[in-house]
A and B are shown apart, each in its own frame.
Chain A
């Protein structure tokens, strides 16, 4: 378990299945993610079995986000790790909407980014965020991510084309949380 201030990051468990299925079928949650079709519990189970069967690793650093009371509120991961370039991408979902805008996401991000730099020996962590997801952009900037540009009209959703922003944080510039 990786300890943050407000949350802990732990390995995913099959017991998370029902919650995960509920979240990824909630359009209020997934409209900010690259996930538009929803998924049956059976399909989610196949995917989770694969994730849970293998230990967390450099190639697949997937974590469940828990509050300090042990309530599972979302998931986060580092993926597309490029070992020679010491870089990867970050993904995060706070699936429990009652936990939005309370600092859980920011704390999970700080905890995961620190793990990426201090344990996985990453040098650069990047993420993509949709232009209409301003809450998340503010959160990423607060945590230390820097805007690098925008892929114009790279996303089609909700009947229109949208820009996708690219942000990253480098180990050198990372302000370590107190």
Chain B
């Protein structure tokens, strides 16, 4: 378990399928994500069956975000981790809407970045967002991400072309803001 200030990152379990299926079919949740399709429980179970039983490895890290009371409120993944370039992509969803805007996402990302930089020995993490996802982008900035690129007509969602924003954070930038150890940050 990776300990954050107000959340812990734990492995995703097969028993999480129903919860995750509820999030992925909630269009308020997916409006800011890449996914726009409706998922059956069987498809979600199959998705988890392919990933959850695998031994963890360097290439991909998938986490369930849990409150300190153990409530599963979202997921976080580090994808496409490349050994040569020492970088990866980060994806996050807070699926439980009553947990939005309370610092859970920020704490989950800071905890994952700390793991990426101090355990995986990465030096760069990047992510994609829609430019009109102001809440998300404010959170990513707090974590240390800076805007690196703007993609015009990046996706067609809710009837309009949306601008994409690519953000990145390098290890020294993160370390200056949050420290590589939880204790440094809370001290």
Residues of A that sit less than 8 Å from B by CB: 36, 84-87, 123-124, 126, 146, 148-157, 161, 166, 168, 170
What are 11 inter-chain pairs, A to B, with CB distance below 8 A? Answer: A87-B155, A123-B153, A148-B149, A148-B151, A151-B126, A152-B124, A152-B170, A155-B85, A166-B149, A166-B151, A166-B166
List, in ascending order, chain A residues with CB within 8 A of B85's CB: 154-156
Whether B152 is near chain A, meaning CB under 8 Å from some CB there, is yes
List, in ascending order, chain A residues with CB within 8 A of B124's CB: 152-154
Judge whether B152 and A153 touch: CB under 8 Å.
no
Judge whether B87 and A84 touch: CB under 8 Å.
no
A38 vs chain B, min Cβ distance (A):
14
List, in ascending order, chain B residues with CB within 8 A of A157's CB: 84
Tell me whether chain A's interface is mostly helix, strand or loop, or mixed.
strand
Q: For window 5-43 of chain B, which residues contact chain A by CB distance below 8 Å?
A: 36
Contact string, B78-99, partner A, CB cutoff 8 A, digits 1/0?
Answer: 0000001111000000000000
List, in ascending order, chain B residues with CB within 8 A of A150's CB: 148-149
A149 in complex: contacting residue of B155, B166, B170, CB < 8 Å = B166
A170 in complex: contacting residue of B87, B148, B152, B155, CB < 8 Å = B152
B151 vs chain A, min Cβ distance (A):
5
Q: For window 105-138 of chain B, which residues contact chain A by CB distance below 8 Å?
A: 123-124, 126
Judge whether B151 and A154 touch: CB under 8 Å.
no
Judge whether B126 and A148 touch: CB under 8 Å.
no
Judge whether B123 and A153 touch: CB under 8 Å.
yes
Q: How far is the CA of A149 from the CA of B123 in the complex (A)?
A: 19
B149 in complex: contacting residue of A85, A151, A161, CB < 8 Å = A151
Q: How far is the CA of A161 from the CA of B154 in the complex (A)?
A: 27
Whether B150 is near chain A, meaning CB under 8 Å from some CB there, is yes
Judge whether A156 and B86 touch: CB under 8 Å.
yes
Whether B168 is near chain A, meaning CB under 8 Å from some CB there, is yes
Given the known interface contacts A148-B149, A166-B149, the answer about A154 and B155 at a Cβ–Cβ threshold of 8 Å is: no
Q: For window 57-81 of chain B, which residues contact chain A by CB distance below 8 Å?
A: none
A153 vs chain B, min Cβ distance (A):
6
Judge whether A124 and B153 touch: CB under 8 Å.
yes
Judge whether A84 and B156 touch: CB under 8 Å.
yes
Q: How far is the CA of A57 from the CA of B156 in the complex (A)?
A: 22
Closest 3 CB pairs of A and B: A149-B149, A166-B149, A85-B155
Q: How far is the CA of A168 from the CA of B170 in the complex (A)?
A: 25
List, in ascending order, chain B residues with CB within 8 A of A85's CB: 154-156
List, in ascending order, chain A residues with CB within 8 A of B152's CB: 124, 146, 148, 168, 170
List, in ascending order, chain A residues with CB within 8 A of B151's CB: 124, 126, 148, 166, 168
List, in ascending order, chain A residues with CB within 8 A of B86's CB: 156
16 new A-B contacts at CB < 8 Å, known A87-B154, A123-B153: A36-B84, A84-B156, A85-B155, A123-B156, A123-B161, A124-B152, A124-B153, A149-B150, A149-B166, A151-B148, A151-B149, A151-B166, A153-B124, A161-B123, A166-B151, A170-B152
Q: How far is the CA of A146 from the CA of B148 in the complex (A)?
A: 15
Q: How far is the CA of A155 from the CA of B85 in the complex (A)?
A: 5
